[in-house]
DNA sequence: GTTCTAGAAC
DNA sequence: GTTCTAGAAC
């Protein structure tokens, strides 16, 4: 077969993917089962000049304006545009005899590849953010975007209806497939940073590893470097935060997170947010329910694991106490009124 | 994780 | 009467 089929990334995020005649290639099917939702199966027919596209996972795939849908298969011909992950990654089909610029699709479907790499290569890739497209002077190849404080009210979204926040996989699914509502402010080959959908302070980011770690209990010595990296990335968020000089921040973990995917909270200590509504919210950030990132790392280095004291969940029921002056407050509204006194002028 | 709401607290 | 919380439902 003299003709070669190429899937060309329109945003030039990587070299064209070469597809061989009648040989199925699955993109986005990583080592981790949780990423199966991203998978798309491609099979080129070089003699007839089309690629059949089958959406295996829930990752919204579309050809031009037509959504493929999970389990469905469509044909894409030269001139048509294939989108993966909610119109994020556009591709065009090209049939050519020149294979010099192509990168074998086999490379992309290796099990060790993480799914977000299906669109680009290397560490610290840039992130498209509709909110802000300026680069920061702090990094050469990382783009950190949208450093404005969170809006007082969050926008409703279609995807919210399908969110089950208690399951890490769904949380991840939404981070990846609905980037407009879960803006990725940074990502590299190890982690992704998003703004907390329901920020409990003026600045509240989550640093999530691509590789799923269910809870602090699952952490082992081998995770030390990842956790250190997460903390560095968290610190980097502060470097580009315009209010970092006047606000204080804490970086840490909830000992018993409701979301089953280890994530580092980077949160300013003003706790000035309409999303902070109840005792559980407050105590989860101001009691020992919240453990400092450095303490988790130290524990892991020292003991090879992280132990959570029994009865930690009871801390969430403690009376409301100001984290600055430790004065007890009777209700959330009173606490919020009190906190204003500690805000920087 | 959030939203909703009955009933406790005031 | 209103405000606020806590627990069920999602």
Coil, helix or strand at residue A2 = coil
- Percent share of chain A, pLDDT over 70: 66
Q: Is the CB of A278 under 7 A from strand C?
A: yes
* Same domain, yes or no: A68 and A193: no
Q: Which residue has the higher pLDDT, A202 or A166?
A: A202
**Can you give the distance from the CA of residue A163 to the C1' of nucleotide C9 in angstroms?**
15
Same domain, A180 and A317: yes
According to the model, what pLDDT value does residue A337 have? 98
Residues A241 and A316 in one domain: yes
Confidence (pLDDT) at A149: 44
Cβ contact A55:A40 at 8 Å:
yes
Q: Is the CB of A313 under 7 A from strand C?
A: no
Nucleotide C10, nearest residue via CA and C1': A164
Q: What is the pLDDT of residue A99?
A: 55
Lowest mean pLDDT among A36-40, A179-183, A323-327, A329-333: A36-40
Q: What is the CATH number of the domain that holds A266?
A: 3.30.428.10
Asked whether residue A337, judged by its CB, lies under 7 Å from any atom of the DNA or RNA strand C, the reply is: no
| Residue A92 and residue A213 in one domain | no
What CATH number is given to the structural domain containing A49?
2.60.200.20
Q: Are the C-beta atoms of A60 and A67 separated by less than 8 Å? A: yes
Biggest CA–CA distance in chain A, Å, is: 78
Residue A117 is assigned to a structural domain of this protein:
no
- Decide if pLDDT at A294 tops 80: yes
Instruction: For residue range A7-62, list pLDDT tens digits in order.
Output: 887 766 666 777 888 877 766 543 333 344 456 778 888 888 888 887 766 566 78
Q: Which of these three, A104, A121, A145, is where a domain ends?
A: A104
d(CA A163, CA A170): 6
Clarify whether residues A92 and A187 are in a common domain: no
- The predicted pLDDT at position A73 comes to 79
Q: Quick one: pLDDT at residue A86?
A: 58
Starting at the edge strand found earlier in the chain, the sheet holding A103-104 runs A66-67, A62-63, A81-84, A89-96, A4-9, A17-19, A103-104
Q: Is residue A134 part of a domain?
A: no
**Structure confidence at residue A178 (pLDDT):** 64
Specify the higher pLDDT residue, A181 or A9.
A9
Q: Is the pLDDT of residue A131 over 90?
A: no
**Per-residue model confidence (pLDDT) at position A27:** 67
Between CA A276 and C1' C4 the distance (Å) reads 14
Would you say the C-beta of A334 is within 7 Å of strand C? yes
DSSP reduced 3-state for A13: coil
Q: Whole-angstrom Cα distance, residue A106 to residue A112?
A: 12
Cα separation of A230 and A188, whole Å? Answer: 11
- Label residue A74 by pLDDT band (50, 70, 90): confident
Q: In terms of domains, do A175 and A295 share one? A: yes
Read off the pLDDT band of A97 (50, 70, 90). Answer: confident
A98 and A165 in a single domain? The answer is: no
CA distances from A236 to A112, A284, A288 (A): 27, 24, 25
pLDDT digits (tens, 9 = 90+) for A191-201: 999 999 899 99
Position A218 in a domain: yes
The confidence score (pLDDT) of residue A140 equals 34
Domain boundary among A104, A139, A170: A104
- Answer for the pair A292, A265: CB distance below 8 angstroms, yes or no: no
pLDDT given for residue A59 in this prediction = 62
**What pLDDT is attached to residue A155?**
32
Whether residue A263 lies in the annotated active site:
yes
Q: Residue A2 CA to C8 C1' — how many Å?
A: 65
> Domain of A235?
158-342
Residue A285, number of CB atoms within 10 A of its CB:
21
Instruction: Tell me what pLDDT residue A145 has.
Output: 46
Q: Is A293 among the domain residues?
A: yes
| Residues with Cβ within 8 Å of residue A10, at least 6 apart in sequence | A81, A90, A91, A92
CB A264 within 8 A of CB A296: no
Instruction: Based on the fold, state whether residues A162 and A86 are members of the same structural domain.
Output: no
On whether residue A332 sits in a domain, the answer given is: yes
In chain A, the number of structural domains is: 2
- What would the mean pLDDT of A210-239 be, rounded to a whole number? 95
């Amino acid at each position: 077969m003299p003709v070669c089929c190429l899937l060309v990334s329109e945003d030039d995020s990587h070299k064209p993917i070469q597809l061989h005649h009648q040989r199925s290639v699955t993109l986005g099917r990583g080592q981790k089962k949780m990423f199966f939702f991203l998978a798309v199966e491609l099979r080129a027919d070089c003699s007839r000049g089309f690629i059949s596209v089958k959406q295996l996972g829930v990752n919204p795939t579309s050809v031009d304006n037509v959504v493929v849908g999970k389990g469905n298969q469509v044909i894409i011909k030269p001139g048509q545009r294939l989108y993966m992950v909610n119109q994020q990654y556009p591709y065009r089909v090209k049939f050519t005899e020149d294979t010099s610029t192509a990168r074998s699709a086999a490379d992309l479907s290796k099990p060790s590849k993480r799914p977000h790499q299906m669109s680009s290569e290397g560490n610290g890739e840039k992130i498209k953010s509709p909110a802000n497209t300026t680069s920061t002077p702090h990094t050469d190849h990382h783009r950190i975007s949208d450093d404005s404080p969170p809006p007082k009210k969050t926008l409703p979204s279609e995807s919210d209806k399908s969110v089950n926040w208690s399951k890490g996989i769904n949380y991840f699914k939404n981070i990846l497939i609905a980037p407009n509502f879960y803006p990725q402010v940074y990502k590299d080959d190890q982690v992704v940073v998003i703004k907390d959908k329901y920020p409990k302070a003026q600045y509240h980011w989550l640093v999530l590893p691509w590789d799923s770690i269910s809870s602090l209990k699952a952490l082992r010595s081998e995770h030390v470097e990842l956790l250190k990296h997460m903390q560095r990335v968290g610190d980097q968020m502060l470097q580009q935060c315009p209010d970092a000089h006047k606000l204080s921040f804490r970086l840490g973990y909830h000992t018993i997170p409701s979301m089953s995917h280890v994530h580092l909270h980077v949160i300013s200590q003003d706790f000035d947010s309409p999303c902070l509504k109840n005792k559980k919210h407050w105590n989860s950030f101001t009691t020992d329910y919240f453990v400092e990132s450095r303490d988790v790392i130290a524990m892991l280095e020292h003991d090879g694991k992280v132990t959570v004291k029994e009865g930690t969940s009871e801390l969430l029921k403690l009376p409301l106490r100001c984290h600055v002056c430790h004065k007890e407050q009777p209700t959330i509204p009173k606490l919020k009124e009190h906190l204003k006194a500690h805000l920087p002028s």
